[in-house]
Amino acid sequence: MSLLRKVLTLTAITLLSLAGVALPVGSASAADPSPTEPKKLFTIRDDRVDESSGLAKSQKYEGIWWTVNDSGDTARVFGINANGKVKAVLSFNAPVRDVEAISVDREGTIYIADIGDNRSTRETIEVYTIPEPAELADEENVKYRRYDFEYPDGAHDAETLLIAPETNQMYFVTKVKSGKGGFYAAPEEASRQGTNELTKLADAPAGITDGTFMPDGQRVVLRTYLDIATVAWGAKPAVVGRAAMPLAQGESVAVGTTTNTVLVGSEGSNSAVYEAQAPARKAAATPKPTATPTAAASGDTDETKKSNNLRWILVGAAFFAFVITIITFPPGRRERLDRQAENARLTGQPPPTPRRRTPV
């Protein structure tokens, strides 16, 4: 690059900087850090678990997760270890219709959510509770409790039951193909007498197939067919981070082997279960300092107008400098003429005449 080109380029960059125009940076430094890739933990190879539609970490047994089959199965849950083997089957005699989710509270109570409603025609939905067994073994005719619920705004399909760690309050997330679903809260103390009416808290993302509270009680991780999302929990739950999951027909999510990981699974026979980091909260953008005092921000003063005009003048000057640099001074040409002129001066010869291109 010639000296003049360097000067013009530096001048242009300086003018653009003074004008407040951001220059591009390298993609590597500008990109967000890549999330940790999910790692396969195990595969469920038991023929009895062919439509796993939920996962929940055991509170009583280390390395055990409970799962349920989708609609069509009887009332039963399966305890699966970290090798994908079924270690216990708990059966209870309830008239389930479309079980879609499972959860476990800190006291070791298993919640089985009969909440699926693809056609949105059910008047009520049900949640059944059973205790984790005293021994990790098959058990039949387990005693259960039943809770009935109804939505305040008509029937909804749902596949997600959340149990708040501190209070054991139940929450539901409805599932829609497009648009917005909803977060619904059960009463703080759900009753087994009559029907409990749910209260809508906030809108929810579309396509939610499962969810779980993280151990801190401040975050919820939601599952869709394609990704997982971290939700900051509160009066108005809000998504604060997402991460893609390379799994087909994603149907389940549960707390993982650590307090900041989750297990994600899918439907079908021989379904694989992966472990991944819960998506982190995205950093808030740092506001840029204003060039003028806050008091003057409500209207355009003369100084503000002059500043804006100067900025556009500088931008125009910078652009003109770049154009002149590219068209008039191709690489190498100016250096060659400068050297020839200097040689001519030292030898006493006349300076060279720049060659002009013959018009075509």
175-184, pLDDT tens digit by residue?
A: 999 999 999 9
**How confident is the model at residue 284, as a pLDDT?**
56
Higher pLDDT, 15 or 237: 237
* pLDDT level of residue 319 (50, 70, 90 thresholds): low
Structural domain including 339 reads: 3-23+301-347
Higher pLDDT, 112 or 280: 112
> What tokens does 30 get?
């500008």
**How confident is the model at residue 33, as a pLDDT?**
38
56 and 90 inside one domain: yes
Residue 288 covered by a domain: no
88 and 221 inside one domain: yes
In angstroms, the CA 161 to CA 99 distance is 11
**How confident is the model at residue 37, as a pLDDT?**
84
* pLDDT level of residue 258 (50, 70, 90 thresholds): very high
**How confident is the model at residue 246, as a pLDDT?**
72
- Among 277, 293, 326, which residue terminates a domain? 277
Neighbour tally for 240: CB within 10 Å? 15
Q: Do residues 196 and 151 lie in contact, with contact meaning Cβ atoms separated by under 8 Å? A: no
- Among 220, 245, 277, which residue terminates a domain? 277
217 and 127 inside one domain: yes
> What tokens does 356 get?
């002009």
* Whether the predicted pLDDT of 42 surpasses 60: yes
Smallest CA-to-CA distance from 219 within 261, 257, 182 is with 261
Residue 56 covered by a domain: yes
103 and 64 inside one domain: yes
212 and 312 inside one domain: no
> What tokens does 122 get?
């059910």
252 and 320 inside one domain: no
* Whether the predicted pLDDT of 159 surpasses 60: yes
Please tell me the total count of domains within the chain: 2
Residue 16 covered by a domain: yes
* Whether the predicted pLDDT of 66 surpasses 50: yes
* pLDDT level of residue 52 (50, 70, 90 thresholds): very high
* pLDDT level of residue 72 (50, 70, 90 thresholds): confident
In angstroms, the CA 76 to CA 99 distance is 10
CATH number of the domain to which 77 belongs? 2.120.10.30
Residue 286 covered by a domain: no
Residue 359 covered by a domain: no
Mean pLDDT of 342-358: 51
**How confident is the model at residue 32, as a pLDDT?**
35
249 and 329 inside one domain: no
Q: Do residues 75 and 128 lie in contact, with contact meaning Cβ atoms separated by under 8 Å? A: yes
84 and 7 inside one domain: no
* Whether the predicted pLDDT of 194 surpasses 50: yes
> What tokens does 330 get?
């191709």
167 and 262 inside one domain: yes
The residues, any chain, with a CB within 8 Å of residue 261's CB and separated by 6 or more, are: 255, 275, 276, 277, 278
Residue 305, Cβ density class (10 Å: 0-12 exposed, 13-18 middle, ≥19 buried): exposed
Q: What is the pLDDT of residues 143-157, one digit of tens each?
A: 999 999 999 999 999
310 and 338 inside one domain: yes
Residue 356 covered by a domain: no
Question: How do 145-150 and 195-197 pair as beta strands?
Answer: parallel
* Whether the predicted pLDDT of 103 surpasses 80: yes
**How confident is the model at residue 282, as a pLDDT?**
74
* Whether the predicted pLDDT of 15 surpasses 60: no
Mean pLDDT across the chain: 79
* Whether the predicted pLDDT of 237 surpasses 60: yes
* Whether the predicted pLDDT of 198 surpasses 70: yes
SS3 88: strand
Interior/surface letters 153-165, b for 16+ CB within 10 angstroms, e for the rest: eebbbbbbbbbbb
317 and 178 inside one domain: no
**Between the CA of residue 298 and those of 20, 260, 293, 294, 295, what are the distances in Å?**
21, 45, 10, 8, 7
120 and 182 inside one domain: yes
* Whether the predicted pLDDT of 96 surpasses 80: yes
Neighbour tally for 108: CB within 10 Å? 13
Angle at 308 between CA 306 and CA 309, to 5 degrees: 65
Residue 353 covered by a domain: no
Residue 291 covered by a domain: no
* pLDDT level of residue 312 (50, 70, 90 thresholds): low
333-347 vs 3-18: helix crossing angle, rounded to 10: 130
